[in-house]
Structure 1
């Protein structure tokens, strides 16, 4: 049997998820509330400061050799592991919260002192700036003594404001997810730039008495401005203390030697929660990112007067996207990153990856994601819920990917790295909410039907499941032909003709 998407199956799941969030409760976050294991139908409005720290030289580590070999991945994972442990120690010391650590990107939150008063916000921002400088100072000293692991080059973005905290994760991997402008703006300040430093949005600058800037992403805080925040925050920890504790911790809990085995497809069977450095996975896979386009603006428009529909929309869409990846196509969801899902896919055997088939099936998976997204939006609207003007941007590529968990026992986080992990995210970021993009490596290794479908710019608009399957099957793609044959098997000829005649033809290669 081929992997496939089915309208009725998707509709049943979507309706079930809509029922889960029929009654949603929105609460203002206060000091006695826990952000752990937030119920599906509950969200908190949280006043806080969001800090994103991007490690700028992860690309350098992944490209340290011409070939993306085992040693390259081992060094990169050690690089991330060492820096994750150091930053986690800092956040614990300053009473901040790690929200997420996704490859090169850390997201943390400052909620103390609690309340939304101006003076409390000022103190939170000053504390975040002082912590940002502490992170920079510590990571500058946490390279390997043998020179194989360099110190991290860090860029930090900070914003302040109200966000919506909801549950993020499934099956024992639950943590809060923060939706809204402050998290998004801080992330944008930190990412997609290559100059080190600490950068504040104009809202955060204004809150601590600094002049607004026409281009805050180009205006790093000066040494004097950072020092003023350090003096006001009076953090009860120094870089030297953190580094000493970090080195002591490494001696007691050394980073294990990374050992890789292959995961026999389907990847859905990969138990990421059981992975350790000595039990990591590595092979040729598809990395796919699917991001709900326009979601931040949608949250900002509804966070005060209709946050309930935000919770409903996110829960329904994200649960359905995960189901398509893991159930319909038997891939593996790595993690949710805000309103984006990162998944992995692979066809083949325990010894080899069938690259051409993996690419074809991932293309149909991308189409299935769009079909489910469109159906989810339709059924939410039919219930009278406000869903805004949302889209789905999808990017994927083929490459050698390592999957493991970082950190020490009892505090491990999942991680998937590889050059094509970064490239698949870049391809997704370049898409609008109607587009799907394929990376160069996957395009080159794909069938002639794949090249025809995506065109010379490797991007296609409005490609849903039927369109992807039919377009590939019509060009002789074996995976798509099998899926089409199974879908039509047993159906009367007139129905088969009707399906082909009414299938969408909005598929447009973006050339």
Structure 2
């Protein structure tokens, strides 16, 4: 059982093993005969394609439909996401696009076909984006408790990216690294609805460049031009009819929640379904590799340089996952590009120990930074060009729901709540040396960490040594503080002695904190 501590020696041994995993790396150019499923660890495909990101803008509205973040708003939000995921999945299959990831409210897809025709690929992506937007406006109302239409923003870019294996153990799928994926994601990040495309992609199809790509959506005429050029094999009405038949044959079913006995390390995400979902307080952690897109873009065209990208990503992500899972008994929900999303909880089958969860989550974040820095040092010692990368970490505490959406045999993991969205926002306000926490986590954090982070709730260079120094001050500081007790100790709980079980009682928060219930 993990003791919620970090050891430099243990981390160094893991990192060396991960470096050995990718001693030999092969870079291949993607061709029509290749499959991107189950890409081996030491292989990457260079793919020339169009990247499309779709962000559902009103997910916050769904989560805040009630003043208290109770079961009602979580059930409605999950039903909302589930319906839209199933509709979008059908569309991507119909147009032969590659579904890369569906992370809560955000979709990433890639168009590699038609091969050797970038203009046609871009028109196809634009037409598909509009088809998805039109369909999602019609898939909200499914009965007595109608859901709102999805408000969407789309980002599109085109170019070369590296496709690698995204994950370990049971979560393997393709991941695309490079500037077009990043630029498409950035264009999707905004408040206004519409389809937003980079000047790089606009130039390919012969459209004028614009001064502000984030404020200039494609016009109706441009979208119509793409629809005519792409001539997609399905229409809005056909997709909606197919979606309705799919729902009738394979109903979503009611969402039902129970608690998971801490820690989250023991939760089996593969068995979760709408009727077998988890809901309880916990801390959400986002760790994003800063400067990674620039690092990849400078190396994607050269095989030797690209090999270093594959090695660096494998070592860094594997070690971040190990810190979360092995050292602090947390659970990786998924890798999102060069970012890891994880969850941590301490307590019993009936209640969450909010203070202990907050402390160990922050220690986990500190250990992630120490392991990250150690991995960068070890890779450079091995002659791996790891560039000038950093780690931005964001955390927030609150009630969260964990489940899987979609149909049996092809479900996707989902962890959603106000605190999950807030933890990602906290990560976004950090540079590669910073860690930030949300206000709820700050309230439960040890006083030493509150002082260290101050009212900004953000700190540079918060590694394991800094955390240890804060929790275990030197004798002079101890005298002035009036205590010599150490807070940096292994977590304990009744759950550890009792074993790990699933409580089938309806999940409720342990107590009313900050409006959560």
Where do residues 24-423 of structure 1 align in structure 2 (5 Å cutoff)?
A: 24-115=25-116, 120-144=117-141, 145-191=143-189, 193-305=190-302, 306-423=305-422
Deviation string 1:139-169 (CA, Å, 9 cap, x unpaired) is 0000124353111011000000000000002
Shift of the 291–476 alpha-carbon distance from structure 1 to 2, 3 Å rule, reads farther
- Deviation (angstroms), 1:480: 5.7
User: Which structure has more RCO (C-alpha within 8 Å, separation ≥ 6)?
Assistant: 2
- Deviation (angstroms), 1:484: 8.9
TM (normalized to structure 1)? 0.92
Check whether the contact 2:54–2:152 (CA below 8 A) recurs between aligned residues: yes
Number of residue-to-residue matches in the alignment: 481
Partner SS, residue 342 of structure 2? strand
Q: Which moved more, 1:102-111 or 1:470-479?
A: 470-479
Partner SS, residue 236 of structure 1? coil
Q: Determine the structure 1 residue equivalent to 2:478.
A: none
Partner SS, residue 302 of structure 1? coil
Where in structure 1 are there 5+ consecutive unaligned residues?
Answer: 487-511
Partner SS, residue 217 of structure 1? coil
Check whether the contact 1:438–1:459 (CA below 8 A) recurs between aligned residues: yes
CA distance in structure 2 between the aligned counterparts of 1:158 and 1:183, rounded to whole angstroms: 8
Check whether the contact 1:470–1:480 (CA below 8 A) recurs between aligned residues: no
Shift of the 404–157 alpha-carbon distance from structure 1 to 2, 3 Å rule, reads same
- Deviation (angstroms), 1:308: 0.3
Deviation string 1:46-83 (CA, Å, 9 cap, x unpaired) is 00000000000000000000000001100000000000
Where in structure 2 are there 5+ consecutive unaligned residues?
Answer: 474-480, 493-517
Check whether the contact 2:278–2:403 (CA below 8 A) recurs between aligned residues: yes
Shift of the 330–395 alpha-carbon distance from structure 1 to 2, 3 Å rule, reads same
CA distance in structure 1 between the aligned counterparts of 2:199 and 2:335, rounded to whole angstroms: 28
Q: Determine the structure 1 residue equivalent to 2:501.
A: none
Q: Determine the structure 2 residue equivalent to 1:498.
A: none
CA distance in structure 2 between the aligned counterparts of 1:481 and 1:219, rounded to whole angstroms: 52
Shift of the 147–351 alpha-carbon distance from structure 1 to 2, 3 Å rule, reads closer
TM (normalized to structure 2)? 0.91
Across the aligned residues of Structure 1 and Structure 2, the Cα RMSD in angstroms comes to 1.6
CA distance in structure 2 between the aligned counterparts of 1:392 and 1:169, rounded to whole angstroms: 18
CA distance in structure 2 between the aligned counterparts of 1:467 and 1:283, rounded to whole angstroms: 30
CA distance in structure 1 between the aligned counterparts of 2:359 and 2:422, rounded to whole angstroms: 18
Check whether the contact 1:473–1:484 (CA below 8 A) recurs between aligned residues: no
Shift of the 485–429 alpha-carbon distance from structure 1 to 2, 3 Å rule, reads closer
Check whether the contact 1:404–1:415 (CA below 8 A) recurs between aligned residues: yes
CA distance in structure 2 between the aligned counterparts of 1:401 and 1:478, rounded to whole angstroms: 36
Check whether the contact 2:26–2:307 (CA below 8 A) recurs between aligned residues: yes
Check whether the contact 2:287–2:392 (CA below 8 A) recurs between aligned residues: yes
Check whether the contact 1:2–1:479 (CA below 8 A) recurs between aligned residues: no
CA distance in structure 2 between the aligned counterparts of 1:479 and 1:184, rounded to whole angstroms: 46
CA distance in structure 2 between the aligned counterparts of 1:11 and 1:354, rounded to whole angstroms: 31
CA distance in structure 1 between the aligned counterparts of 2:372 and 2:52, rounded to whole angstroms: 30
CA distance in structure 1 between the aligned counterparts of 2:485 and 2:183, rounded to whole angstroms: 41
- Deviation (angstroms), 1:113: 1.3
Check whether the contact 1:86–1:246 (CA below 8 A) recurs between aligned residues: yes
